[in-house]
Structure 1
Amino acid sequence: MGAVAITGANGFLGRHTRAALREQGEDARRVAVGDAFDLADATSSLEGASRLVHLAGVNRGAEEDVREQNPGFADQIAAALRQADQPPPVVVYANSIQAADGGVYGVAKARAADSLARAAADVGAEFIDLRLPNLFGEHGRPFYNAVTATFSHLLAAGGTPQVDVDRELTLLHAQNAADLLLGTVPLASQRELEEHETVSGLLERLSDQARTYATGEIPDIGTPFDRDLFNTYRSYTFPAHAPVALTKHADARGAFFEVVRSHGGPGQSSFSTTQPGVGRGDHFHRRKIERFTVLSGRATISLRRLFGDEVVEFEVTGDDPVAVDMPTFWAHKIVNTGDDVLYTSFWTNDIFDPDRPDTIAEAV
């Protein structure tokens, strides 16, 4: 794909887009806007890039900020586009379906689109005005990004979310939005990727998933929508609710314990042996759900959230079995810290496809 320049790279959709780029071995050229904007720096970031993805915006706050900052950010990027000797040939704007509703936010987004479209035309670039619906996904900000984030946060904390106004929502997982923005899936597939659900129906789905997962079991994730909702929900449960305790039954014959109960959808189990001092992993997943369970031996499971430095570690042993579920967007690995061979069970929610492995190299 080549270098991709992104504004708003540290925001919710920005992090999802950068994670999608990692699958292609790329990271974003981050372009600052607003008070941190520097024309020379922005122009340098755009030079020779294969694509510009403009994500930065203000969707909540004082009306004046929403009204002025959205087109203001676009004007800054438009200036950098016109200044570049080799501007990106494709300019993509993460617009909103509200751009046509006449509200303060919608009008501001429409003005921003016009500014970018004019600049793209001036430099001969293709302009893509991607109008996105309600986005949801892992690590969204509760009470800010989307109702899905708020419901998930409250459920994970043991709260009881309420529906204030029930209506139908058009929902799109942020990873699907990232694929559209980066051009890795056709723009014509957007409608197929969108889901329609009422606010009360969304809460019911998430509540059912929370109740099932509280027992250590995997809820029905037989559809991509339910899988994406579950990945969203469990991003709010980690690491506080990990690991998952397993009940071990032992008698004179030996020991027995259940590794996973899944309520729906495909799955694949595998098993490995690992020599002392050796590790496995150092990768992350965008959509795949994976569970590690040490059957015999001693190990350390380490996880690091993408674009952060903090590492979470779990000391696990086959004598006291637990399951550790790998959250999406967390690099993870398991290292044999014992003196004997480590025996580990792995379960994933999908059948491995070598053409689409969803296993992306990333050191913990």
Structure 2
Amino acid sequence: MLSLAVTGAGGFLGWHVRVLLRALGWPEPTVLTRADLADPAVVARKIAGVDRVLHLAGVNRGEPADVAAGNVHLAAQLANGLRACPDPPIGVVFANSVQAGNGTPYGDAKATAAGILADTGVPLDDLLLPNLYGEHGRPWYNSAVATFCRVLAEGGQPEVHADREMDLVHVTDAAARLAGVAAGGSWDPAMPALRTGVRDLADQLASYADVYRTGEIPALRDRHDVRLFNTYRSHCFPAHYPLALPTRADARGALVETVKAHGGAGQTFCSTTRPGVTRGEHFHLAKVERFVVLRGSADISLRRVGDTDVVRFPVSGDEPVVIDMPTMWAHNITNTGPDELLTLFWTNELFDPERPDTWPEPVGDEHRVPAGVR
């Protein structure tokens, strides 16, 4: 377990690093803000004695001159702080890019930044990252995956102006590599890549959106399928929930189709919960999980890891609906009625006690937000 300091902790990659460390129970990393980087003495004080600095801060989009200057300037500021530190870290890991040195303002600036950090005398791990995708990426900024997912979540169709092959790595795998985390059930620091074309990617995500529109689960054949689907779902939450379930009833009783999974069964179980009791208080990094209340009434509450807003869904067995838990959101379910609560749970994978992908985290009550409002 290493002590870490992180630049760019509030960005896409930085957030995923912090979520992974939270799951593993590692200490909260020391955060170096852009204001901190402007003062070498502040940087030196904050990084003194830490094992590793992860330099994630950068500029990905904007005017070419601003992108180039921004990436070089941030590296130079960190380098000044490293030189001023009497007890420097064991090493620096730089979130560089496979585009480094490719002749573009961005690529050349990243290569220059790596050279600046290497000149500090602190050992540098210059990590060339390919295209990263994952939950809560910024559309039109972080990746084409985020852009396509947002367009589809808003009911549109992605536009592909130029098709090309690319390698995609899930951001949690990159976070594990940056932090020096060993391989686990939900992450792989070897960063296995998905090789795909832009048009094929758009078509795959569009097929997920078509199937999921009615609450059905698309075929998830491998780990990238699961993670692409989770990325799409992150752009649907919370506005698309709850998903209504059609009920078929006759004189014998009623039938509700709670899960229709294409290409796989997953695991289904039911539980009862006594009045006033809360279940859950955890989050998942990759697992797809569905809640359906069949009898009684409950509140399902969720909070994105690292945020304070809590989204609450009141649900009842009188009108069964689907609430799917987004990955990296702490969640719970509380029986709010006078009688026993009956809830059906479904996950896309069989439970493995050795690798449960269930990480303790209380939801809390801060800043409750009505479902669909964020």
Relative to the length of structure 2, the TM-score reads 0.92
Alignment of 1:2-151 (within 5 A): 2-26=2-26, 27-33=28-34, 37-119=38-120, 122-123=121-122, 126-151=123-148
Tell whether the 8 Å contact from 2:289 to 2:346 is kept in structure 1 after alignment.
Answer: yes
Tell whether the 8 Å contact from 2:20 to 2:175 is kept in structure 1 after alignment.
Answer: yes
The code of the aligned residue for 1:231 comes to N
- The change in CA–CA distance for 1:168 and 1:259 in structure 2 (over 3 A counts) is same
Alignment of 1:241-260 (within 5 A): 241-260=240-259
**Which is richer in helix?**
1
Deviation, 1:128, is 1.0
Q: How far apart are the structure 1 equivalents of 2:354 and 2:197?
A: 35
Tell whether the 8 Å contact from 2:269 to 2:344 is kept in structure 1 after alignment.
Answer: yes
Tell whether the 8 Å contact from 2:37 to 2:81 is kept in structure 1 after alignment.
Answer: no
Deviation, 1:192, is 6.0
Deviation, 1:8, is 0.3
5+ residue gaps, structure 1: none
SS at match of 2:209: helix
5+ residue gaps, structure 2: 364-374
C-alpha offsets along residues 88-107 of structure 1, whole Å, 9 cap, x if unaligned? 21311100000031211111
The code of the aligned residue for 1:162 comes to E
Deviation, 1:265, is 4.1
Deviation, 1:190, is 6.4
SS at match of 1:250: strand
Alignment of 1:224-263 (within 5 A): 224-263=223-262
- The change in CA–CA distance for 1:101 and 1:150 in structure 2 (over 3 A counts) is same
C-alpha offsets along residues 139-182 of structure 1, whole Å, 9 cap, x if unaligned? 11111111111111001101121110011011111111111111
Tell whether the 8 Å contact from 1:4 to 1:28 is kept in structure 2 after alignment.
Answer: yes
SS at match of 2:218: coil
Q: How far apart are the structure 2 equivalents of 1:274 and 1:222?
A: 33
Deviation, 1:217, is 0.3
- The change in CA–CA distance for 1:345 and 1:324 in structure 2 (over 3 A counts) is same
SS at match of 2:78: helix
Aligned residues: 358
Which residue in 2 is equivalent to 1:200?
Answer: 199
Deviation, 1:191, is 6.5
Q: How far apart are the structure 1 equivalents of 2:189 and 2:302?
A: 32
Tell whether the 8 Å contact from 1:140 to 1:149 is kept in structure 2 after alignment.
Answer: yes
SS at match of 2:152: helix
Q: How far apart are the structure 2 equivalents of 1:9 and 1:350?
A: 31
SS at match of 1:99: coil
Q: How far apart are the structure 2 equivalents of 1:192 and 1:14?
A: 16
Deviation, 1:222, is 1.8
Q: How far apart are the structure 1 equivalents of 2:170 and 2:255?
A: 39
Deviation, 1:185, is 4.0
Q: How far apart are the structure 1 equivalents of 2:254 and 2:229?
A: 31
Alignment of 1:200-349 (within 5 A): 200-265=199-264, 267-349=266-348
Tell whether the 8 Å contact from 1:296 to 1:343 is kept in structure 2 after alignment.
Answer: yes
Q: Aligned residues: percent identity?
A: 51
Which residue in 2 is equivalent to 1:159?
Answer: 156
